Amino acid sequence: MYNIIEELTGINMGLITIERKVLEKNDLIALENRRLFKEKKLFVINLISSPGSGKTSLIEKTIPILKAKHKIGVIEGDVQTDLDAQRIDLLGVPVVQIVTNGACHLDAMLVRDAFNRFGDKEFDFLIIENVGNLVCPAGYDLGEDMKIVISATTEGEDKPLKYPVIFRNSQAMIISKIDLLPYLSNQKSDFSSFDIEKLRNNSLSINPNLKIFETSCMSGDGIVEWCDWLTKFIR
């Protein structure tokens, strides 16, 4: 019958036009998460970086400063182990560990299920530490208020250019491990050294509105400024 209709009208009955975003399932759950967080007046950040850039260390330094005035909760995401959750647990704030068993990023459903594990606990600030990865987390909305990207001094100046999506999609960037700066410029060698201004410029070329912080969890430099900025968003 379709062939007759096609002959008479010229309409291709075998062509179905749709407009379906591939990540719509994630985006719907992210929207629900966002609504729930807003209802609870919760400020939520999604912390993203390569493995070893200092996400957990930054959280360890942030909590003692903000804990006095705010109720903080942390969701940790890793491929394996609860090592990061154990570190946060020592600071006396509620923490839930997501173990992805292979997934290279957190998604909205994992975050929703993790948040439900907090039960009745009340927070005004939720930190989500994503799986160490500068690529995949960039494309997944978790329902957060903002994505924060960390790039360590040891990672060089070119990460914003190599991983533009995450730098474009973040509201703030932390240049971590600035205590290592004296060791990263070696005038005795021809080998190129780290230029922090070049990193700043590369970041701003991808995202001119990026708020940039320079921190060291070893020395404590820059942590207060970072916390002061965060408190502006927490109710």
Partner 1 sequence: MHELSIAQEIVDIIKQSVPVNQWNLIKSANLQLGVFSNILADSLSFCFEASIKNTELEQTKLIIEVIPLTIHCENCFSDTIVEDFIFYCPKCFNPNITILTGQEMQLTAIELFDNHS
103 touching partner 1, by CB under 8 A: yes
Q: Does residue 17 belong to the site contacting partner 1 (CB under 8 A)?
A: yes
Binding of residue 22 to partner 1 (CB under 8 A) = yes
Question: CA–CA separation, 45 vs 30, rounded Å?
Answer: 13
* Burial (CB count within 10 angstroms: exposed 0-12, middle 13-18, buried 19+), residue 155: buried
Closest contact distance (angstroms) between CB of 204 and partner 1 is: 8
Token representation of residue 98: 């997501």
- CA neighbours closer than 13 Å in the CB half-sphere of residue 203: 27
Kindly state the smallest distance separating residue 225's Cβ from partner 1, in Å: 24
- Determine, following the binding rule CB under 8 A, whether residue 99 of this chain makes contact with partner 1: no
Of 167-186, binders to partner 1 (CB under 8 A) are 168
- C-alpha dist (Å) from residue 170 to 48, 71, 87, 184: 9, 24, 26, 26
Q: How far is the CB of 49 from partner 1 (least distance, A)?
A: 16
Binding range to partner 1, per CB under 8 A, among 40-48, 60-68, 160-168, 175-183: 160-168
d(CA 187, CA 184): 10
Q: What is the dihedral of CA 66, 69, 73, 74, to 10 degrees?
A: 0
Residue from 86, 186, 205, 219 binding partner 1 (CB under 8 A): 205
What mask of x and - would describe binding to partner 1 in positions 57 to 96, judged by CB under 8 A?
----------------------------------------
Nearer to partner 1, 103 or 227 (CB): 103
d(CA 152, CA 135): 16
Which residues lie near partner 1 (CB under 8 A)?
Answer: 1-3, 12-25, 103-105, 135-136, 138-139, 161, 164-165, 168, 204-208
